[in-house]
Amino acid sequence: MLDHLCLLALDAGRAIMEVYEAPSFEHHIKSDASPVTEADTRAEAIILAGLRARYPAIPIVAEEECAAGRVPETADKFFIVDPLDGTREFLARNGDFTVNIALVENGEPTLGVVFAPACGELFAGANGLGAFRAGVENGKAGTRTPISARPCPSAPTAVASRSHGSLETNEWLKRHSVENYVARGSSLKFCLLAAGEADLYPRHTRTMEWDTAAGDAILRAAGGVVHDLEGRPLRYNKRGQASDVDFANQGFIAYGDPDFAF
């Protein structure tokens, strides 16, 4: 399954880059105030077709399908897809956008693929299999290099959102005396922790499960953890929430080193 999801992510990435490299492209704003482009819809169509053909019995929760009101019933196992995570980064043409595909089982992301087509980097991981990264050239992934999160150093490095920073996150960093800070877009922040290139990813603004599941799965496979703001493992398939819509996250802290978790 992990190999197949990697191939789907590469196919979706090719479609995204066709739009990205065009002289111009249009976008519109959805009801939740987030942007969407032709690249989002084309990539999602490729992923949905591939998953449905190979795994017809597994439900798929996909961002643009949900935005259109097509939300499936979810069981203990389902796929969750963000075809273009970091659309604002896509519009800014800074390269920090990704294709995210994950498998969720019993509320936990157990398998994930993150592909950054403009950066030419593929990250993937699964529970029990570990995590890896691979360079991508001409649409094909190269040698897989195992990755793992690192023990937290005395001066940890945090990554935080390029487009969704918050006063709460800044205060959290100050409160925990974290001075080294890198701003990145999309789910690449999880991947930096998984690769041992950073240590903390605090997020105090709202996200959706499709924004986090693939990167979360890779980080967990690499030895890290993701906690909600109450210190519990971040859970998935959150439906019927009194305070928000289905699949919404209300903040989290990702740690490369579980022993450093606050």
Binding residue ranges for Mg(2+): 63, 82, 84-85, 211
Q: Which residues are annotated as a binding site?
A: 63, 82, 84-87, 211
The secondary structure of 64-116 as a DSSP string is: HHHHTT------SEEEEEEEEE-HHHHHHTSS--EEEEEEEETTEEEEEEEEE
Distance CA 215, CA 186 (A): 9
Distance CA 142, CA 145 (A): 9
Q: Which residues are annotated as a binding site for substrate?
A: 63, 84-87, 211
Q: Please report how the helices 38-54 and 2-20 are oriented relative to each other, as an axis angle in degrees rounded to 10.
A: 160
Q: By the 8 A CB rule, do 58 and 78 touch? A: yes
Find the helix or strand (DSSP H, E) in which 1 lies. Answer: none
